[in-house]
């Protein structure tokens, strides 16, 4: 996206943020689960004092998502801490299997279904999943952002993937059952 001297860098940045606004707001909402906190995170991330330097233009555009992530996570430190404690207490009788190995998001899953499934996941595993899988943040950087060790991030990501897969699979079964033609319609049921 280019900009001209007549519109200025500020105008170009404002247009870019306006274009990305809904996506950034949704990302912050999925992280926080709170519309007010997500709105504040996006507004705070967009509050850049020095947009006159061309060097920062591309940097700001590419890092806008990371700024929103940082602000969103900062707004829920105590909630994340409590969820982190629950995650660390989670136990499975066997080694967890990575659900991503056999599962993928169905192409017909809509935004509302994905949002509902993600918001049904406990906060820390949801954030670990969003950052490491959806945002493709490295395990090390995710650990830094969430103030946890790498093994806890891997565990939380697995918990999140399993919960997401279960929720979306259940939704898919509900959808299939609701569109199935009952046997009674064909005179097959008694």
In a domain, 108, yes or no: yes
Both structure tokens of 17: 């943020």
pLDDT class of 145 with cuts at 50, 70, 90: very high
Say yes or no: 7 and 48 in one domain.
yes
Residue 49 pLDDT more than 80? Answer: no
**Alpha carbon distance 129, 93 (integer Å):** 22
Say yes or no: 175 and 85 in one domain.
yes
Name the domain boundary from 42, 75, 108. 75
Residue 143 pLDDT more than 60? Answer: yes
Segments forming the whole domain that contains residue 147: 76-179
Say yes or no: 44 and 111 in one domain.
no
For range 136-164, the mean pLDDT: 95
Can you spell out the DSSP letters for 62-74?
HHHHHHHHHHHHH
Say yes or no: 82 and 167 in one domain.
yes
Say yes or no: 160 and 87 in one domain.
yes
Average pLDDT value for the chain: 80
pLDDT digits (tens, 9 = 90+) for 55-92: 665 666 657 788 889 999 999 999 999 999 999 998 76
Say yes or no: 69 and 128 in one domain.
no
- The number of domains in the chain is 2
How many other CB atoms sit within 10 Å of the CB of residue 155? 20
In a domain, 190, yes or no: no
Say yes or no: 91 and 81 in one domain.
yes
More confident residue, 12 or 49: 12
Say yes or no: 87 and 57 in one domain.
no
More confident residue, 24 or 4: 24
SS3 content of the chain, % helix, strand, coil (to 5): 70, 0, 30
In a domain, 188, yes or no: no
pLDDT class of 154 with cuts at 50, 70, 90: very high
Give the range among 1-10, 47-56, 152-161 with minimum mean pLDDT: 1-10
pTM of full prediction above 0.85 = no
Residue 48 pLDDT more than 60? Answer: no
């Amino acid at each position: 996206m280019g900009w001209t001297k007549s519109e200025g860098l500020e105008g170009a940045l404002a247009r870019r943020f306006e274009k990305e606004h809904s996506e950034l707001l949704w990302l912050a909402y999925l992280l926080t689960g709170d519309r007010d906190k997500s709105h504040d995170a996006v507004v705070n991330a967009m509050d850049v004092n020095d947009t006159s330097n061309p060097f920062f233009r591309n940097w700001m555009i590419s890092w806008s998502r990371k700024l929103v992530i940082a602000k969103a996570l900062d707004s829920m430190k105590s909630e994340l801490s409590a969820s982190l404690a629950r995650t660390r207490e989670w136990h499975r009788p066997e080694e967890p299997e990575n659900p991503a190995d056999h599962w993928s998001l169905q192409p017909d899953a809509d935004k509302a279904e994905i949002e509902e499934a993600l918001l049904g996941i406990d906060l820390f595993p949801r954030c670990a999943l969003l950052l490491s899988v959806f945002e493709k943040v490295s395990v090390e950087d995710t650990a830094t952002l969430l103030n946890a060790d790498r093994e806890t991030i891997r565990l939380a990501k697995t918990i999140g993937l399993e919960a997401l897969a279960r929720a979306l699979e259940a939704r898919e079964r509900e959808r299939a059952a609701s569109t199935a033609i009952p046997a009674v319609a064909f005179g097959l049921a008694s």
